[in-house]
């Protein structure tokens, strides 16, 4: 009886936990909705196995159990043989990379670029024999062949070759000269791109960049809105510059420029994405008018709105009320993350609270964040909500804090180092980044400059000047009235002279001229992020944070470069280990000694049994 009760409780607990996980209760409310039921299910399953061990043993020893196991094993063998035959026939290479940094497979971005190929691409490497013999060479035939086989496993349109241009100069015909040892070239049709200087650890990144260069038509340009010019990219000791972001964009073959709308007057036509990431930029009416015109022609914008000006007692950016017309509400608050700090021996739990945190709560429905897994580092972010979206505007939440976070509205108390959940509007899962898609035909961007206030009580700043005039000069005599002629003017045309067609038109039946319909305007997109420091050099470290992939994916999405929306190649990490001579001897002793010890123990046991018999 108890066995059945324990089994039923475990089964229902498992079903409840899986249902809670499927419904997302662990993300919307608390993870306890999943962990507690599944924990009960595991404990119940173990108790059921202990109470039912005799019945399980009898079942395992039965003839039906043996037949079932044999049938299952036979089915697995047949399926394995069928899969292997299919692999051999199709020639498709199949591999599973279980390394921590995926060192035995190419990055998702490289896979995306290769899978998008429409014609054969050739990778040529000049590797003379002496490079294979030199341990200091940046590349050898083994490294190159291994990497290119990974590319070929993704597409049969990738081919490669190794040449020795010194012994066989004809193999280097058509390649940019001079061809030096170690040079690598990527050729697609009549376009050839030389791979930039590389190391063995970043060779994949450089080859993938060359592939993008020969497959891309034209260049996309990213503009940074600033009044500081190139100084916006300069990094200081705190790593607050954008130099790493510029380098990452140039690696993706984007052109990077700066622009001051107060001087330029408009966003250039070649602007693929406009970055608003300078917290010191003060928007004027001219700036917002130029931004409005850019959005109404299908512009793509990444806007970062910081909380620092409010914390310093300054006025909020004029961009905040401007974005409200799209249903974007940037909160006058700061996201606070609560995390477990300590658990004492008595069971007392303490928590820590910080505006600086990392989050991996990405949207899995948007192309920008679908494949991201490294968390994004946040430094004092504002909430970005989608509220009362107007017609023609859609919003998609890309990034949010954990369920234990809240948006602190008490900025004065925060500056004193105090926070509390209280009556804050957002008390869980603070939204950090939202992308708004605007159909400008249905909802065009609008900006109305604020009219200057009329001074009613303030005294004029300039003294009044009295102009003396005589009454005769002020009062003018009335002019004589115009005479109306009784004779109608002769215009040289009467109604009898106007030709009329049966339809009643007066144009002589001429067909109206055809007018060309204007081309449809693509939708404008605005990615609003409540923090600009996530773009800073200190946080744009690939492999340590997800900031770089998040921003580059966003740029690729907005610029319609879909093959660039993926995880970028990373520097390979040597996870091997080197044994000292002493450790090598210990390892050999263990490998050879353990079997001998086991054999000796077996012989001793056998001898004792014979004596006992």
Dihedral of CA atoms 240, 246, 249, 250 in degrees, nearest 10, equals: -160
Least confident of 125-134, 221-230, 337-346: 337-346
Please indicate, yes or no, if residue 308 is contained in any of the structural domains.
yes
Mean pLDDT across the chain:
79
- In three-state secondary structure terms, 608 is helix
The residues with which 352 forms a beta bridge, in sequence order, are 339
Show the domain range for 67: 2-91
Read off the pLDDT of each residue in 41-46 and give the average, rounded to a whole number: 86
Question: What's the pLDDT tens digit per position in 79-137?
Answer: 888 877 776 665 555 555 555 555 667 887 788 888 888 899 999 999 999 898 888 88
Q: How far is Cα of residue 483 from the mean position of the Cα atoms in its chain?
A: 78
Q: Percent of the chain having pLDDT more than 70?
A: 77
The residues with which 526 forms a beta bridge, in sequence order, are 301, 436
- pLDDT band for position 46 (50/70/90)? confident
Instruction: Point out the domain boundary residue: 38, 60, 91.
Output: 91
Please indicate, yes or no, if residue 572 is contained in any of the structural domains.
no
Q: CATH number of the domain at 120, please.
A: 3.40.30.10
Question: What's the pLDDT tens digit per position in 379-412?
Answer: 999 999 998 899 999 999 999 999 889 999 888 8
**Same domain, yes or no, for 257 and 395?**
yes
Say if residue 455's pLDDT is above 80: no
Question: What's the pLDDT tens digit per position in 253-290?
Answer: 899 999 999 899 999 999 999 999 887 888 999 999 99
Say if residue 488's pLDDT is above 80: no
**Same domain, yes or no, for 483 and 604?**
no
Q: Which residue intervals of 462-580 are DSSP H helices?
A: 471-474, 547-558
Tell me the pairing of strands 376-379 and 356-359.
antiparallel
Q: Supply the pLDDT for residue 458.
A: 38
Please indicate, yes or no, if residue 96 is contained in any of the structural domains.
no
Please indicate, yes or no, if residue 102 is contained in any of the structural domains.
no
Instruction: Point out the domain boundary residue: 215, 244, 264.
Output: 215
Please indicate, yes or no, if residue 569 is contained in any of the structural domains.
no
Computed over its alpha carbons, how large is the radius of gyration of the chain? 37
**Same domain, yes or no, for 296 and 317?**
yes
**Same domain, yes or no, for 308 and 248?**
yes
What is the C-alpha separation between 310 and 586, in angstroms, rounded?
64
Question: What's the pLDDT tens digit per position in 284-337?
Answer: 999 999 999 999 999 999 999 999 989 988 889 999 999 999 999 999 999 999
Whether the CB-CB separation of 158 and 123 falls below 8 Å is answered with: yes
Please indicate, yes or no, if residue 574 is contained in any of the structural domains.
no
**Same domain, yes or no, for 596 and 516?**
no
The residues with which 343 forms a beta bridge, in sequence order, are 349
Task: Please tell me what DSSP assigns to residue 429.
Answer: S
Count of domains observed in the chain: 4
Widest CA span in the chain? 153
**Same domain, yes or no, for 366 and 233?**
yes
**Same domain, yes or no, for 543 and 412?**
yes
Please indicate, yes or no, if residue 477 is contained in any of the structural domains.
yes
**Same domain, yes or no, for 282 and 257?**
yes
What is the phi/psi pair of residue 245, to 5°?
-65, -40
The helix (H) or strand (E) run that includes residue 594 is helix 581-612
Whether the CB-CB separation of 215 and 120 falls below 8 Å is answered with: no
Instruction: Point out the domain boundary residue: 215, 238, 265.
Output: 215
**Same domain, yes or no, for 495 and 607?**
no
Read off the pLDDT of each residue in 30-58 and give the average, rounded to a whole number: 80
What is the C-alpha separation between 213 and 186, in angstroms, rounded?
9
What is the C-alpha separation between 44 and 119, in angstroms, rounded?
58
Q: Which residue intervals of 464-580 are DSSP H helices?
A: 471-474, 547-558
**Same domain, yes or no, for 27 and 131?**
no
Say if residue 491's pLDDT is above 80: no
Highest mean pLDDT: which range of 203-217, 325-339, 365-379: 325-339
**Bigger pLDDT: 158 or 565?**
158
**Same domain, yes or no, for 205 and 228?**
no
Q: Go through the chain and tell me how many residues it has.
A: 613
| Peptide bond before residue 606 is cis, with ω within 30 degrees of 0 | no
**Bigger pLDDT: 487 or 131?**
131
Q: Supply the pLDDT for residue 349.
A: 62
Whether the CB-CB separation of 359 and 402 falls below 8 Å is answered with: yes
**Same domain, yes or no, for 227 and 200?**
no
């Amino acid at each position: 009886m108890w066995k059945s009760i324990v089994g039923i409780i475990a089964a229902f607990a498992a079903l409840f936990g899986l249902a809670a996980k499927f419904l997302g209760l662990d993300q919307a409310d608390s993870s306890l909705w999943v962990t507690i039921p599944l924990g009960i299910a595991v404990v119940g399953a173990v108790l059921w196995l202990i109470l039912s061990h005799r019945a399980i043993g009898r079942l395992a020893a039965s003839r039906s159990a043996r037949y079932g196991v044999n049938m299952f094993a036979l089915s697995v063998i047949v399926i394995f043989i069928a899969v292997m035959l299919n692999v051999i026939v199709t020639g498709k290479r199949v591999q599973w990379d279980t390394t921590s940094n995926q060192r035995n497979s190419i990055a998702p971005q490289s896979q995306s670029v290769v899978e998008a190929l429409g014609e054969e691409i050739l990778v040529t490497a000049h590797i003379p024999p002496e490079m294979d013999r030199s341990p200091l060479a940046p590349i050898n035939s083994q490294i190159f062949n291994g990497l290119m086989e990974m590319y070929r496993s993704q597409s049969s349109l990738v081919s490669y070759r190794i040449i020795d241009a010194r012994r066989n100069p004809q193999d280097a015909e058509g390649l940019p000269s001079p061809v030096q040892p170690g040079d690598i070239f990527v050729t697609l049709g009549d376009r050839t791109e030389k791979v930039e200087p590389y190391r063995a650890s970043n060779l994949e990144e450089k080859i993938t960049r060359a592939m993008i260069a020969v497959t891309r038509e034209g260049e996309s340009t990213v503009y940074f809105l600033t009044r500081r010019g190139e100084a916006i990219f300069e990094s200081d000791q705190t790593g607050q510059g954008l130099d790493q972001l510029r380098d990452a964009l140039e690696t993706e073959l984007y052109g990077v420029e700066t622009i001051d709308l107060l001087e330029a007057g408009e966003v250039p036509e070649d602007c693929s994405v406009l970055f608003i990431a300078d917290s010191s930029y003060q928007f004027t009416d001219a700036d917002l008018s130029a931004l409005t015109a850019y959005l109404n022609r299908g512009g793509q914008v990444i806007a970062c709105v910081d909380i620092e000006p409010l914390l310093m007692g300054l006025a909020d950016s004029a961009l905040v009320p401007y974005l409200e017309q799209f249903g974007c509400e940037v909160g006058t608050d700061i996201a606070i993350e609560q995390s477990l700090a300590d658990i004492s021996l008595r069971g007392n739990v303490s928590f820590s609270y910080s505006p600086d945190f990392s989050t991996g709560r990405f949207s899995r429905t948007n192309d920008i964040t679908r494949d991201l897994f490294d968390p994004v580092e946040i430094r004092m972010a504002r909430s970005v909500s989608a509220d009362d979206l107007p017609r023609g505007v859609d919003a998609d939440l890309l990034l949010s804090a954990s369920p234990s976070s809240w948006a602190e509205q008490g900025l004065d108390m925060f500056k004193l180092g105090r926070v509390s959940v209280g009556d804050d509007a957002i008390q869980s899962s603070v939204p950090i980044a939202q992308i708004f898609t605007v159909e400008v035909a249905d909802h065009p961007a609008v900006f109305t400059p604020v009219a200057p206030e009329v001074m009613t009580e303030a005294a004029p700043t300039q003294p009044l000047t009295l102009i003396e005039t005589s009454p005769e000069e002020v009062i003018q005599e009335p002019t004589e009235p115009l005479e109306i002629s009784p004779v109608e003017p002769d215009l040289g045309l009467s109604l009898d002279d106007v030709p009329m067609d049966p339809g009643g038109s007066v144009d002589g039946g001429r067909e109206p001229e055809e007018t060309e319909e204007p081309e449809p305007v693509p939708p404008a997109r605005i990615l609003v992020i409540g923090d600009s420091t996530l773009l800073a050099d200190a946080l744009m470290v690939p492999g340590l944070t997800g900031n770089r992939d998040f921003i580059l994916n966003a740029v690729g999405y907005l610029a319609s470069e879909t093959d660039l929306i993926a995880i970028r190649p990373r520097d390979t990490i040597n996870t091997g280990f080197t044994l000292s001579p002493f450790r090598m001897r210990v390892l050999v002793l263990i490998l050879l000694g353990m079997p001998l010890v086991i054999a000796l123990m077996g012989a001793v046991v056998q001898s004792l049994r014979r004596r006992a018999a």
